[in-house]
Structure 1
Amino acid sequence: MSDNPQTRAFLEHVEAREAELGEQDGQLRSRIAELTAPLGELDAEGENLRITRKTLLSIPAPAAADEPSGPDVPDHPAYQQFLAVFADAATPLRARDLCRALDLPIVPKNTEDIRSS
């Protein structure tokens, strides 16, 4: 070092400031490292979301599914009457009960026809 007291004091001040700056540099670099990892995770998640959006938008919309059709119901008025009687009944019906509900005579021909329907 120099023999000049003013130069020596100035050099000591410069060295102290360099040490201070080195400490601040280390602290800032440490904070940068702490923030870099979460920032990388956020970037990766954002990229995954962009890819997901792009993928979803590129998938064609599914074709409208036809509703499953129910069983074919005959249009005959007698069949519609049968269905109306069954819909109104609170308990299971026998062929004889159905004949009564439809105002048919209770004869074997009618009960057999109803059973076969």
Structure 2
Amino acid sequence: VVQILHLLVSLGIIVAMDKILKKVFISAAIKFPSALFGMFCVFSILMVLDSVVSSAAAGLMSFFEPAILFIQRWLPLFYVPSLVVLPLAVKDIPATSGAKIFFIL
């Protein structure tokens, strides 16, 4: 029961952050895939944490491990559509949208 609850909480946080990013991108009229931006953010946060406080990065990874394993199993369903449309999205990004993406960072 504890493992299932841990999976639900960690996966719920990831899904909630994805939904929030999607709403922010839609409201800012950014055509870049929000899920892909979220992956870049997670990667950046983990890299910074690992270089500053590696135990914090390891703790964050261990907290999200159940969700990561679940998503890894279902990766094509969750993230491949964002990667497929990336060339189309990047082609149509005007400078103002690029600035908005940078501002969100």
- Regarding TM over 0.5, the answer is no
TM range (shorter): under 0.3
Point out the structure with max Rg over C-alpha: 1
Higher relative contact order, structure no. (Cα contacts within 8 Å, ≥ 6 residues apart): 2
Could you say which structure has the higher helix fraction? 2
